[in-house]
Structure 1
Amino acid sequence: MDHFEDYYEGRVKRELAEWEKSLFEEKGFLFKASKQMSMKMNQAIPKKAQQAITSAVKVTVKSVLTGAKFIPKNPVIKEASLYERDQKAIEFMDKYRKIAVAEGAATGAGGILLGLADFPAFLAIKMNLLFEIAHIYGYDTRSYAERVFILYLFQLAFSSNETRRISYEIICSWKDRLTRYDAPPVTEPEWETFQQEYRDSIDFRKMLQLLPGIGAIVGAWANNGLTKELGHTAMNGYRLRYLADHPVKH
């Protein structure tokens, strides 16, 4: 390993330690207030709309587990340094962030019906990003185990503190768990917790998108922030795996 790679991996490890700390720190007043407001707005959304959101999540989870729709055309990157992979991941995060911003603005401008249509569309954008990042870090999403890992990453980004801690522990010990997912089980897991946690975490930003008059601005703003958060979570999740799978050799 040359001096730059050695230095860069040391820097990444420090960043990962800071990220881990931030994952579990106590949420502030603004977060709690926005969460309460989000729950109230969630209750105000018509039941059919809530069912549409839940259905979109279920369809997306099934598509991820079967590999339908999301496996990228871009090949798995076999030979590259961690620095090169990080730069490529940042490039793809920016690409998908711009797509999400445009999509959020377009659907947000259309009121509640198009605003609701944004949920499955935005879910697809986020999953496409996760599959691309997997290939960038050298993990082939044609493998069932890699697709399960993607769902845990998604759950890490969009879940309660308790579920986030469980997801993080699973991600950190993935090397020991990998053989559990050599092939799909006879009965697909329901991932009910995943569906419920994601719906509950559709925060104040996305709820505001459904309001007339401000939907376009809020839709772009919300999708921008949420895509960046997911990309950051995915990048760090794969950094953890990459460092575990490629121990430093001096």
Structure 2
Amino acid sequence: MGFFTRESPVEKEWRRLLIEERRFLQKRLEKKSPLFQEKLKEKVPPKLQSTLDTAFSKAFALIFEKGTGLVEKTYSRQKLEQEYQVRQYALKIKQDSKSLRSFSKTVRNTSAKNTLLSGASGIGMGALGIGLPDIPIFTGMLLKNLYEIALHFGYGYEAKEERYFILLLIQGAVSNGETLLETDQKLNQFIHDGKLPDGYEEKKQIEAAAKALSKELLYLKFLQGVPLVGAVGGVYDAVYMKQIAAYAGIKYRRRYLQGRK
């Protein structure tokens, strides 16, 4: 008679993670464009896409170069690092699933708060007909959320390798089709070996993430530039903040668990 091998907490959490990861990818692969985008196609200026590309690229470059300190003023890095150490210690002592899942629970709570803030900001600016000027604010809030998620799992965000990981997360979360699958594979490869690709150029990766974001938000930012009606477009700041945070939570969790396997 054979014996059943009981799963360890890490193995159990890894299995749960893979299920959530497949669901997220499948949902993005099956995504269909909302009806309102089709109706707005003829009204969107031809040059708006390139304008958005440039705006997001500049926002990322500026925050990476000079703005990380400003972003950190919106939360206590020391406190988040201490809370991570407490969770690590609890896991070391207890070695149970509840302690392991506490990392993801903390991330969900943080992301929910940041999503609400992003939504309030987007709606407010949309009501005033402010679309393009919202991009630096949205980008700052987005990176704030991702920085906090990284700290909750014990990772930093200043190193070139960490910025690469963050930019890939953003690109993957708003992509679909082959681009999504390729980006997801790049993330898993980095999680496995922690190395930058040969010939990596941060500027090009910033442009790739910016282009993915601008393509997804094109019609919404156009709509957000219309007073009052723009509040509807502003709502989607929260929608995409939540979407990117969900994907980031999955990938940082995968990275953390793989380090413990």
TM-score over 0.5 for the alignment?
yes
Deviation at 1:9, TM superposition (A): 6.0
Instruction: Identify if the C-alpha distance between structure 1 residues 232 and 33 changes in structure 2 by more than 3 Å, giving closer, same or farther.
Output: closer
Report % sequence identity: 24
Deviations 1:226-249 (A, max 9, x none): 1111111110011110110011xx
**How many residue pairs align between the two structures?**
233
Among residues 6, 9, 15, which one is paired with 1:13 in the alignment?
Answer: 15
Max radius of gyration: which structure? 2
- Residue 88 (structure 1) aligns with: 106
Contact 1:157–1:230 (Cα < 8 Å) also in 2: yes
Contact 2:122–2:134 (Cα < 8 Å) also in 1: yes
1:209 aligns with 2:224: yes
- Residue 125 (structure 2) aligns with: 107
- Residue 27 (structure 1) aligns with: 30
Cα distance in 2 for residues equivalent to 1:217 and 1:36:
13
Cα distance in 2 for residues equivalent to 1:207 and 1:161:
24
C-alpha root-mean-square deviation of aligned residues, in Å? 3.1
Cα distance in 2 for residues equivalent to 1:34 and 1:120:
27
User: Which 5+ residue runs of structure 1 have no aligned equivalent?
Assistant: none
Contact 2:126–2:233 (Cα < 8 Å) also in 1: yes
Aligned AA for 1:241? R
User: Which 5+ residue runs of structure 2 have no aligned equivalent?
Assistant: 1-6, 92-99
SS of 1:116's equivalent in the other structure is: coil
Instruction: Identify if the C-alpha distance between structure 1 residues 18 and 95 changes in structure 2 by more than 3 Å, giving closer, same or farther.
Output: closer
Aligned AA for 1:45? P
| Equivalent runs, 1:182-221 vs 2, <5 Å | 188-191=202-205, 192-202=207-217, 204-219=219-234, 221=235
Aligned AA for 1:56? A
Deviations 1:82-117 (A, max 9, x none): 322212211211221121011111110112xx1221
TM-score (norm 1): 0.78
Cα distance in 2 for residues equivalent to 1:137 and 1:67:
24
Deviation at 1:34, TM superposition (A): 4.0
Relative contact order, CA 8 A, sep 6+: which one is greater? Answer: 2
Deviations 1:122-170 (A, max 9, x none): 1211111111110110111132211211111111111232221111112
Cα distance in 1 for residues equivalent to 2:39 and 2:167:
24
Aligned AA for 2:104? D
- Residue 94 (structure 2) aligns with: none
